[in-house]
Amino acid sequence: MSKKIGFIGLGTMGFPMAANLKKAGFEVIGFDAWKGVYEKAEAAGFTMVDTVKEVAELADEAIISMVRDYAQNVDVIFGENGILTGENTDGKTVIVMSTLSPDAMNELGARVEAESGLKLISAAVSGGASGAQAGTLSIMTSGDETIVKSFAPYFDAMGSHTFYYGPEAGNSQVAKLVNNMILGINMNAVAEGLKLGQHYGLPEEEILNLLKVSTGDSWVVRNWSDVSEWTADTALAVLLKDLIATYNEGVKLNIPMPFNALSSTQLFNSMGKEKK
């Protein structure tokens, strides 16, 4: 009999992640605040329920939260009909796969364990919608190491690489901020380089072909056809949020990160998009 895993948040990232869990043989117990996704989810073989509480009760050992931000995670976990209101949930684990600040994630973990018999681990992801669909996400985990290792089959179904960053739940979020800071800086560099080439009439595709086999190579270069289409109200907005969070961490800890600060300011301009 296949294990039942709860999945809350079936959006652009969450839906394909849940679909890959289903393809790997797990039974997905799903919930989303937008009921418009239910028909599609049921067609994909998910068991959809009306409340988060039901997700927590029906899942065998783990409930994934892939909602947008801290406030939504608080509502999912502690709100009316939230995870903590479920019966027979002691010993189960909440896997928060959203991107939050390190302090916010640590606070969630401490509160869950203080107010319930559940555990919480963090598993931030990188790879975007294309990685979620292909099942090739990079997954950054932290929390109880024994629990993290026991959930390897779940992570393997959704990603191609899983990393462990220690017992503090917020540690994986630090790793995600580091990754996205470097992503943001790199995006600015590639976009500005292409603008210079465009000024002189150089074909963009040939510049990208050069970079892919030379010292300017990067994930951004190899995926520019997708990255260049990121919009101001979706992926770029999410990245800017992470760059600002990284800046705030630097200010708090007195760690100078001038390239991150500049990338935060220039991101939309470099990408030729207007901030909404």
Rounded to an integer, what distance in angstroms lies between the CA atom of residue 18 and that of residue 24? 10
Question: Would you call 40 a catalytic residue per the annotation?
Answer: no
Q: Which amino acid is at 261?
A: A
C-alpha distances in angstroms, 75 versus 78, 105, 202, 261?
5, 14, 51, 31
Strands 119-126 and 159-164: unpaired
Cα-Cα-Cα-Cα dihedral sign, residues 228, 233, 234, 235: positive
Q: Which residues make beta-bridge pairs with 104?
A: none
The active-site residue, picked from 22, 176, 195, 276, is 176
Gap between the Cα atoms of 93 and 70, Å rounded = 18
Structure letter (DSSP) for residue 93: E
* H-assigned helices in the chain: 14-23, 38-43, 52-58, 70-78, 102-115, 128-134, 145-150, 152-158, 171-199, 204-212, 219-222, 224-227, 235-253, 258-270
CA dist list (Å): 51 to 7, 73, 77, 82, 203: 11, 14, 12, 8, 53
Task: List active site positions.
Answer: 176
